[in-house]
Amino acid sequence: MIIQLIRENDSRTIKEAEKKMKQISAKLNETRANQKAFNAYSQEEPYDGGYFVDRKN
């Protein structure tokens, strides 16, 4: 009986952890994309070797 309850609890906990990991991964990817955009917009020195294209998703 106790072992079954522990297994059920473990199963629920693993599912919740996987869900949170997906959410954190998505937020981390969004943050990385935002950091790349920020870095592109805030170049310290003028870049004369080409042009910048702003792509919107």
> End-to-end CA distance of the chain, in Å?
52
Domain, as residue range, for 17: 1-32
Query: For the chain, how many structural domains are there in total?
Result: 1
Report yes or no: 40 and 53 within 8 Å, Cβ to Cβ: no
Flag whether 21 is in a domain: yes
Per the domain annotation, does 44 fall within a domain?
no
Residue 5 has a pLDDT of: 96
Measured between alpha carbons, how far is 38 from 56 in angstroms, rounded to an integer?
Answer: 14
Q: Model confidence over 15-48: pLDDT tens digits? A: 999 999 999 999 999 999 999 888 878 876 665 6
The reported pLDDT for the residue numbered 18 is 97
Per the model's pLDDT, the better-predicted residue between 55 and 20 turns out to be 20
Residue 48 lies in a domain: no
